[in-house]
Amino acid sequence: MTESPVDVFDRLVQVRPPEHTPVLFDTACVLGGSIAGLLAARVLADHSRRVVIIERDRTDPQGLPRDGVPQDRQVHGILPGGVDQLERWLPGITGELKGLGAVSLAPDRSVMYIDGIEQLPSRDVHTLNCSRPLLEFAVRNRVLALPNVRKVTAQATALEYDNGAVSAVRFVVDGVEEEAVRVDFVVDAMGRASRLPDWVEQAGYSRPPLHRVPTGIHYATAMFERATGPDAAPPAFTGTMFPAQPGPRGLTAGLLIPIEDNQWMVGLVVHGGHQPPRTLEEFRSLCDELPPAFGKAVGGAVTREVLNFRQADNRRRDFVGLAHYPARLVSVGDAVASLNATFGQGMSSAALHASCLSAYLTGEPDLGLPAAWYFDLLKVATDALWGPSAGSGAGDAEPAQDEEASQQQWAMGQLMQASLTDETVADAFKAVAYMRAHPGTLADPALLERAIDVNKSADTAS
Ligand SMILES: Cc1cc2nc3c(=O)[nH]c(=O)nc-3n(C[C@H](O)[C@H](O)[C@H](O)COP(=O)(O)OP(=O)(O)OC[C@H]3O[C@@H](n4cnc5c(N)ncnc54)[C@H](O)[C@@H]3O)c2cc1C
């Protein structure tokens, strides 16, 4: 790949739909019908006469939580970069979600604190807030309404190969019969526990290596009635994080978002050896460590009790440079990278993978070979998110090991400090945090110079 990662990322996050969409397949198959699988199916619908999604869950038309996605009861925010990508593939989806009750907030209604310090508001970013099941419901409705996409409720069990390429998918319906569908292209969207690496290895291909970084974070989420009268808490999203050190009871982040049906969804993230709150009393008490908006929100009537979830690690699978891998086979979403949930990147990352897939297929690749170009794109997207996500366990900030790393840490400190008062630096930071720009954009010397000047002026003034 000759382009720099910054340029590749910049192209991937563009929002225009592709102009050239060659039809390459008779049947394409997506394994897993959650966010990543649905968005991959949307892209494949441009390139295949028919697209079959194999998903083991019977999906509820009302958008309720489901067994195949146990994390969907926890607070889920979608980053602005992810909203851009959703709109790219499903134009008008934001409006549809708002029609279903999702809450869009203007920049001055969203507040974020880091280490207890209030950050500058984003100048032009409206956030979109709803529960994860509602988001998936809207995406699923749109994708399954495409005339060439259909879903089969079944459990994928294996692949078949012909001449070094995937040629069929085997699946089980209602736990009994095993069937096979002939396919020209397969996308693995089976999530972080995907069995695909076992399947390809058993068939004699290279197993994509799995990298894990322990996080050991606990999530606890509860929902509360959101009053709408004049005395109501402001309908703001409030995020607060303690990246340097967790609070005394292990609290590393609190997330407060207004969602459909006049509810607050409140998520608390507890680090390491600390126990997450399991009762309402413990949950409310932990909110005392957070800004007052949390206390006000959790003081209301409970609409859903506290539910816990433990995320043991961040993990990624690398597909670049595998010695022997089947052609016509790719992966998307958490099957590629399952990131630290605190940063809210997962669904946006899945949407970015859909754009990687589109870039690969619109390039009319040689389908007799493994999808090397796709894997290169995927690596750029994953590297951009993995760095911040994998180094983010609260309390585990390591001192820099060498001169270059220590320079980088110093520069990052300057940028962070300046972002508290300077809108240009804050915008650059947020563009990265919101997945609209590659982290490499923060290495711009002009930006660092500006940050140093801002910090010097602040020192002189104080
Ligand atoms: C606690 C927590 C909080 C999070 N918060 C956020 C957040 O705020 N924002 C955000 O963007 N992301 C968040 N995430 C991450 C987000 O949940 C995932 O990144 C996202 O769901 C990944 O989508 P996916 O489609 O790749 O996988 P999944 O959503 O895990 O779906 C995998 C699908 O594959 C199906 N499947 C699996 N095996 C088979 C099989 N053999 N046959 C057929 N179907 C199969 C499953 O039923 C399921 O539908 C959070 C994660 C956690 C754990």
What single string gives the DSSP state of each residue in 217-265? Answer: EEEEEEEEE---STTSPP--EEEEE-SSS--TT-EEEEEEEEETTTEEE
Q: What is the pLDDT of residue 76?
A: 94
The Cα 290–Cα 398 span in angstroms is 26
Whether residue 224 sits in one domain with residue 80: no
Judgement on whether residues 54 and 38 belong to the same structural domain of the protein: yes
Residue 75 lies in a domain: yes
For residue 38, the model assigns a pLDDT of: 98
Whether residue 307 is found in the same domain as residue 318: no
Q: Probe ligand 1: pick from 132, 199, 259, max atoms within 8 Å of CB?
A: 132
pLDDT at 216: 83
* Four-point Cα dihedral 43, 46, 47, 51, nearest 10: 70
Q: Answer yes or no: is 298 within a domain.
A: yes
Residues in the chain with pLDDT values less than 70: 229-245, 388-401, 462
Q: How far is the CA of 424 from the centre of ligand 1 (A)?
A: 34
Residue 398 lies in a domain: no
Q: Is residue 396 part of a domain?
A: no
pLDDT at 392: 47
H or E element that contains 456: helix 445-461
- Give me the pLDDT at residue 388, please: 65
End of a domain among 313, 348, 379?
Answer: 313
Q: Which of 96, 98, 118, 100 is nearest to 108 (CA)?
A: 118
Number of domains in the chain: 3
148 lies in the same domain as 79:
yes
Query: Which atom from ligand 1 is nearest to the alpha carbon of 221?
Result: 1
Give the distance (Å) from ligand 1 centre to CA of residue 32.
9
Using the mean position of ligand 1's atoms as its centre, give its distance from the Cα of residue 129 in Å.
18
Instruction: Choose one of 282, 313, 344: the last residue of a domain.
Output: 313
Mutate to test the pocket of ligand 1, among 30, 39, 42, 56 (most ligand atoms within 8 A of CB): 56
363 in the same domain as 436: no
Tell me the CA–centroid distance for residue 397 and ligand 1, in Å.
28
Please say which residue of 313, 340, 361 terminates a domain. 313
**241 DSSP β-pair partners:** 114, 253
Cβ of 68 closer than 6 Å to ligand 1, yes or no, is yes
Q: Is residue 147 part of a domain?
A: yes
Residue 395: inside a domain:
no
Q: Are residues 68 and 49 in the same domain?
A: yes
What is the domain-level CATH number for residue 61? 3.50.50.60
Whether residue 308 sits in one domain with residue 257: yes
Q: Do the domain assignments include residue 176?
A: yes
Asked whether 345 and 387 are in contact (CB, 8 A), the reply is no
- Domain range enclosing 268: 104-127+215-313
**The tokens of 2 are what?**
């000759």
The pLDDT score that the predictor gives to residue 208 is 97
Q: CATH no. for residue 304? A: 3.30.9.10
415, 421, 427, 429 alpha-carbon torsion, rounded to 10°: 30
Of 29, 30, 35, 259, the one to substitute when testing ligand 1's pocket (max ligand atoms within 8 A of C-beta) is 35
Indicate if 52 and 142 belong to the same structural domain. Answer: yes
Is 436 among the domain residues? yes
Q: Give the pLDDT confidence score for residue 161 in this predicted structure.
A: 97
Residue nearest to atom 39 of ligand 1 (CA): 190
Same domain, 350 and 450: no
> Rounded to whole angstroms, how far apart are CA atoms 227 and 298?
11
For the CA of 348, the nearest atom of ligand 1: 11
Nearest-atom index, ligand 1, CA of 190 = 34
36 and 87, same structural domain? yes
Cα torsion through 98, 101, 106, 109, rounded to 10 = -170
Residue nearest to atom 37 of ligand 1 (CA): 190
Do 322 and 255 belong together in one domain? no
Q: Which residue has the tokens 């102009």?
A: 19
> Candidates 196, 311, 347: which one to mutate for ligand 1, based on the most atoms within 8 Å of Cβ?
347
Are 233 and 109 part of one and the same domain?
Answer: yes
